[in-house]
Amino acid sequence: MESACDLPTSCVLPVLKSPHDYQVFRISQDDKNRLALLVDPTLGHAALTCCVEIFDEGGRTPSHRHQVAVEMFYVIQGEGRVVCDGKTSTIRTGDSILVPSHGIHYVENISPHRLYLLSVMVPNEDFAELIRQGIPAELDEEDMAVLARTRSV
């Protein structure tokens, strides 16, 4: 255990962002989902990417896999389905799921309401770069109510 004498004398400030600061993108024009970047390798030398994925009704990611990265999803709000290597899991508010590297998977919204997922990919494996190459989008009032917790519970 380090003593106070062993601690560095310089301080590294944490990166603080609020929903108004998030950069939001669609990967392609016809996508029914948007990705709001929270953390990526350009911030604080992070080796991960963290975003909120917002799926409108009928929104779905394409089937894909990661060579090295694992991906964790946490359902902030809504109901969806994750299919990985042919195994289907229904996910709802409060659930989390870990997708291993090499697992061929996709996520889809299965309800008439928006699905909000926190997605963490470690390591980044060019996920942030893919998002940033997309089409700039915005968060709307409904998104802000979910992400900023401005609505009454």
Residue 41 pLDDT level (bands cut at 50, 70, 90): confident
Report pTM: 0.87
- 8 falls within a domain: no
Region 60-89: mean pLDDT is 95
For residue 48, give the nearest of 71, 65, 66 by alpha carbon. 71
- Strand partners for 84: 87, 105
- 99 falls within a domain: yes
pLDDT tens digits along 97-132: 999 999 999 999 999 999 999 999 999 998 999 999
- 91 falls within a domain: yes
- 7 falls within a domain: no
- Which CATH number belongs to the domain containing residue 118 in this structure? 2.60.120.10
- 13-17, 40-44, 80-84 — which is least confidently predicted? 13-17
What total number of domains does the chain contain? Answer: 1
Token readout for 50 is: 């963290």
Instruction: State yes or no: pLDDT of 72 exceeds 80.
Output: yes
**pLDDT score of 152:** 54
Token readout for 56 is: 């409108």
Distance CA 12, CA 14 (A): 6
- 64 falls within a domain: yes
Side-chain-side CA neighbours of residue 7 (13 Å):
6
> Which domain, by its residues, includes 74?
22-147
Q: What is residue 145's DSSP assignment?
A: H
**pLDDT score of 49:** 93
Whether 36 and 24 have beta carbons less than 8 Å apart is answered as yes
State the first-to-last Cα distance of the chain, in angstroms, to the nearest integer.
Answer: 43
152 CA to centre of own chain: 24
